Amino acid sequence: MNGTLSTQRESISKSVSGAKNLAISTWRILRSSPLSLLGFGLVMLYVVVAILVLVAGKFVLPYNPLQLNAGRPLSPPSFSHLFGTDNLGRDIFSRVLAATPLDLGIGLAVSTLAMVIGGTIGLVSGFQGGIVDSVLMRITDIFLSIPSLILAMAISVALGPSIMHSVEALSVVWWASYARLARGQTLGVKNQLYVVAARASGTKEHIILGRHVLRNIFDTLFIYMTMDIGTVILTFSTLSFLGVGIQPPTPEWGSMVINANYYISTQPWIPLIPGFAIFFSVFAFSLIGDVLRDILDPKTRKSML
């Protein structure tokens, strides 16, 4: 019985393509934890909504998100206004949906920029060692000791409020933790036997750096970046709370909460619904990071199968 099972499994793994194999292992990992499944579903939902709004906004959104008096102001959730309306009579459902591409986009842009900048600095620092390493890591330490929100706030005020400036300000404070992470990972990889063997066989240093070191640390950086998208959205919305992020009337989750916080006791859905949009995005991206780790790390994948 056991023997037939294992031969069956072998023949299955031989016959199905690599992509299908990945899909199967992904499904097994998702099935093993209800939280991971929830995270995966939520991220898919956010991404699909963002793409739909971006591509076919007019057809997806029931109302124009900027239109005043789309319904009676401050009306509670109903069939015509799923999430109710705000104090200016704008449809909250349309506004929450319309904000998705912006918030997700900023999360993605800042964490990608931070990964590229910080990853490069950490990679060079760990690979070179010596004085280069010391200098780069002391600079990283300095950035890590400034509270990120406070520095982003100061930079946003200095540059003036705009979406691009918020992205710049957040990227400036965000790269340092990636540099730390990439350096640690590089140090772990650079003395592995396969690197030593590549060097002994005459491979050039920049090829070792790219082909052997970068490729091995990339997964870790990528997982960290995925988990980070939510954190960026969180900080960005806090910048809006402070009044240095997005300017009204552009719909953005954070500023929708702030502009409505007077209604928390009387019409709580107005600040709470966009607040939960932020909450679930951060929650989902943290969970999906764990899923990705299980999928990308061959060690855990083997034990799952």
Partner 1 sequence: MKRNFWDLLLFIVKRVAVMLLLVIGVTFITFFFSHIMAPDPARLWAGRRANAARIQEIISLYHLNQPYYVQYWYYLKGIFTGNFGVDPSTGAPILPQILSRFPATLELVLASVVIMVVVGIPLGAIAASRNGKATDHVIRAFYLSGWATPSFLGALVLVLVFTYYLNILPPYGIISPFVTQPPAITGMPILDSLLTGNVPAFLSTVQHLILPATSLAFLNFGIATRMTRASMLEVFPLDYVKTARSKGLSEYAVVYKHALRNALISTVTVLALLTGSLLSGDVVVEEIFGWPGIGSYAFNAVQTENFPEIIAVTVVFSIGVIIANLIADILYAVLDPKVEWG
Task: Build a one-symbol-per-residue string for 241-270: x at contacts with partner 1 by CB under 8 A, - elsewhere.
Answer: xxxx---------x--xx--x--xx--x--
Sign of CA dihedral 49, 163, 177, 232: negative
Which residue's CB is nearer to partner 1, number 76 or number 147? 147
Taking the complex as a whole, the smallest distance from the CB of residue 158 to partner 1 amounts, in Å, to 4
In whole angstroms, what is the distance from residue 247 CA to residue 260 CA? 15
Amino acid symbol at 173: V
35 binds partner 1 (CB under 8 A): yes
Task: Build a one-symbol-per-residue string for 197-236: x at contacts with partner 1 by CB under 8 A, - elsewhere.
Answer: ---------------------------------x---xx-
Residue 160, beta-bridge partner list: none
107 binds partner 1 (CB under 8 A): no
Taking the complex as a whole, the smallest distance from the CB of residue 50 to partner 1 amounts, in Å, to 18
In whole angstroms, what is the distance from residue 15 CA to residue 22 CA? 13
CA 114 to chain centre: 11
Core vs surface per residue 57-81: b (16+ CB within 10 A) or e: eeeebebebeeeebbeebbeeeeeb
Among residues 74, 139, 163, 304, which is the contact residue for partner 1, using CB under 8 A? 139
Q: How many CA atoms lie less than 13 Å away from 78 in the CB half-sphere?
A: 10
Pick from 110, 60, 55, 94: which is nearest to 249 by CA?
A: 94
Taking the complex as a whole, the smallest distance from the CB of residue 10 to partner 1 amounts, in Å, to 29
From the CB of residue 35, how many other CB atoms can be counted at a distance below 10 Å? 13
Taking the complex as a whole, the smallest distance from the CB of residue 145 to partner 1 amounts, in Å, to 5
160 binds partner 1 (CB under 8 A): yes
Among residues 51, 52, 124, 144, which is the contact residue for partner 1, using CB under 8 A? 144
In whole angstroms, what is the distance from residue 297 CA to residue 183 CA? 19
Q: Which stretch binds partner 1 (CB under 8 A): 87-95, 102-110, 136-144, 208-216?
A: 136-144
**CA angle (163, 55, 168) in 5-degree steps:** 15
List the structure tokens of 227: 């988990």
Taking the complex as a whole, the smallest distance from the CB of residue 280 to partner 1 amounts, in Å, to 8
Which residue's CB is nearer to partner 1, number 155 or number 198? 155
In whole angstroms, what is the distance from residue 34 CA to residue 42 CA? 12
Q: Which stretch binds partner 1 (CB under 8 A): 82-90, 189-197, 201-209, 274-282?
A: 274-282
136 binds partner 1 (CB under 8 A): no
In whole angstroms, what is the distance from residue 33 CA to residue 291 CA? 9
Binding site for partner 1 (CB under 8 A): 33-35, 138-139, 141-151, 153-155, 157-160, 172, 230, 234-235, 237-238, 241-244, 254, 257-258, 261, 264-265, 268, 271-272, 275-276, 278-283, 286-287
